[in-house]
A and B are shown apart, each in its own frame.
Chain A
Amino acid sequence: MSFNQWINSRLPISDFFDQHLRQYYAPKNLNFWYFFGSLAILCLSIQIISGIWLLMYYEPTAKTAFDSIEFMMREVPYGWLLRYVHAVGASSFFVILYFHLYRALMYGSYQRPRELLWLSGVLLLILAMAEAYTGYVLPWGQMSYWAAKVIMNIFGAIPFIGEPIMHLIQGDYVVSEVTLQRFFAFHVVAFPMILLAMVFLHLVALHTVGSNNPDGIEIKDNKGADGIPKDGVPFHPYFTIKDLVAAAAFLIIFFTIVFYNPTMDGLFLEKENFIPANPLVTPPEIKPSWYLAPYYAILRAVPNQLLGALAMISAIISFAFLPWLDRSPVRSMRYKGVRSRVSLALLVISFLSLMALGLLPPSPVYIILARISAVIFFGYFISLPYISRNDRHSSPPDRVRM
């Protein structure tokens, strides 16, 4: 009996790899938009490793947090590299997630039987936002403190139970050192553990139903005599190598940013956050990180505190309903009509506008633009049942197109 067999008969490791990599068939027409799932895993790994390393010098108390990071960047060998990798990695993660999400919108990857795959994904997006938010508070700079305060106040806006919940999460009557330490616990342990468990479930859901593809047809509908989908290719070696190429390309861009412009002129690491937190001085512009900016823009666009908070939350939650809002008989945008395409384009444009507006100061003109963009954004979801059912569509082919 070989070493592998000895291990495998007790713990089916090679069986597992065989079943899920060599014998898992993915559609052969997967394109650029299908890189982002594995890139997300790569990015998550980068964040975990750089995060663990940062933990060795970071001090989670209000008095020393900011200093500990600055000292680490100067006095620990390659401390600056770990810090910049982690900060750029966070933003990269969201670029990847948004591209990954967009792919699903384009090709209808959320449609049955992939509803739970989609929902686990939406949950992962929310978890990632919570993880990023708590992480952003940790340097305890001006933005860290005031962003924490603003978001906590949104919780406080809920009638009756809002304030007690706010105090419960904060651990204090105001955002304070206590809040910092518990956000530290959430960011380092609680959310990562849930994230990893959720990623696992997400992958199980994927392997159960199989991947969608740009043509939106089910490759399992067309199996050969051997039971293998005719349009499927084994994940290993075809997609392992393809994803490695994507990883290399991603890392080229990633490292260019890390080594040449890690703060991205304030987009990835805000200037204001290089001032230690001061509860007595509010910064002239309170900005969220760019990846949370669209939702912040929606929050600000609504003149009512509670309704603004609800609108913001609905913006994120709306995505969850897509499998039931999209009534189209075809999955992929390739075979949908003009109205569907225009609708999706408007969603993208409004989302990007909201992102830009969320980063700008709330001048009257910008508020109006944000309101218009918010209406268009929500319009996508509201109009989807009607448009998807009544739009012209062509027939997708029986076999995938490469």
Chain B
Amino acid sequence: MLILRMAMGNESVDLKKRAFLTRTSQALGAIAVCGAAIPLVQYLKPGREAAMSSLPVEFDLSGLKPGDQRTVLWRGKPIWVIRRTMEQVTALNKINPNLSDPNSQIEQQPEYAKNPYRSLRPDILVLVGLCTHLGCAPTFRPEPKAIDEDWDGGFFCSCHGSKFDLAGRVYKGVPAPTNLEVPPYYFKNDQLLVIGAHEA
């Protein structure tokens, strides 16, 4: 820096230009680093293979008896398909005061699942089988009084005790904050359920 100070004449012009160039270089350099970071960050995102696991999965309902539960894999997550019995369906019409979000106000389901049954068809229930608390897989407990005196059937998560009813709605006073998620799905025909896409 001593050498710099010894420069002859034209000092102020030179230094102003130098300061300008320095600032410009720093700015352009910072942009270049950001530019280089873009592909590095994009690379980290889930690639095509992960996207492909989102492809819709078909499920044949003909073998599903009333009261049965089956699990299908979609997007790497367990998806429950349950054929509810007539009694279970009728029971859902009752208003349960112990539910946290009985009218499914929070967006955990597509529009067509915003009803007392939380499904397109009253008898077929399709849910993402992961507790909305911390992601454990709850168990299907349709038998009344299975968990406690007031239990009318539903899903119980043994990890931290969260309870959901037979439409996947969460009870008050449990760790889980929201109703179980309903994935997009539609019925290709009476017996064929397609999970992972809305009806085109």
Which of chain B's residues 17-64 have a Cβ closer than 8 Å to chain A? 25, 39-40, 42-45, 47-49
Please tell me which stretch of A68-76, A120-128, A328-336 contacts chain B, meaning at least 4 of its Cβ atoms lie within 8 angstroms of it: A68-76
Closest to B28 in A: A248
Q: Which residues of A contact B44 (CB under 8 A)?
A: 56
**Number of cross-chain contacts by CB at 8 Å:** 35
Cβ contacts under 8 Å, B1 to chain A: 22, 234
Flag whether B106 is at the interface (Cβ < 8 A).
no
| Cβ of B3 under 8 Å from chain A | yes
Task: Assess whether A77 is interfacial by the CB under 8 Å rule.
Answer: yes
Total residues of chain B contacting the partner, CB 8 A: 13
Distance to closest chain A CB from B54 (angstroms) = 14
- Cβ of A219 within 8 Å of any chain B Cβ, yes or no, is no
* One of B2, B25, B43, B45 near A82 (C-beta < 8 A): B43
The interface residues of chain A lying within 8 Å CB-to-CB of B48 are 74-76
- CB of A81 within 8 A of CB of B39, answer yes
- Closest A-chain residue to B45, C-beta based? A77
Q: How far is the CA of A22 from the CA of B1 in the complex (A)?
A: 9
Partner of A77, one of B2, B25, B43: B43
Interface size class of A (residues with CB under 8 A): 10 to 19
Write the nearest CB–CB distance from A47 to chain B, whole angstroms. 14
| CB-defined contacts of A234 to chain B, threshold 8 Å | 1, 3
Identify A78's interface contact among B3, B42, B49, CB under 8 A: B42
Q: Cα distance A56–B43 when bound, in Å? A: 10
By the criterion CB–CB under 8 Å, are B43 and A76 in contact? yes
A53 to B48 alpha-carbon distance, docked (Å): 17
Q: Are A76 and B47 in contact (CB under 8 A)?
A: yes
Q: Say yes or no: is A338 at the interface (Cβ < 8 Å to chain B).
A: no
Write out the residue numbers on chain A whose beta carbons fall within 8 Å of the beta carbon of B47.
57, 72, 75-77, 79
Q: A71 near B42 (CB under 8 angstroms)?
A: no
State A363–B183 Cα separation when bound (angstroms): 67
Whether A49 sits at the interface, judged by CB under 8 Å, is: yes
Q: How far is the CB of A30 from chain B (nearest CB, A)?
A: 16
Instruction: Please indicate the chain B residues that have their CB under 8 angstroms from the CB of A147 in the complex.
Output: none
Known: A57-B47, A72-B47, A74-B48; 19 extra A-B contacts, CB below 8 A, are A56-B43, A56-B44, A71-B49, A75-B47, A75-B49, A76-B48, A77-B39, A77-B42, A77-B43, A77-B45, A78-B40, A78-B43, A79-B43, A79-B47, A82-B39, A82-B43, A226-B2, A234-B3, A244-B25
| Chain B positions near chain A (C-beta within 8 angstroms) | 1-3, 25, 39-40, 42-45, 47-49
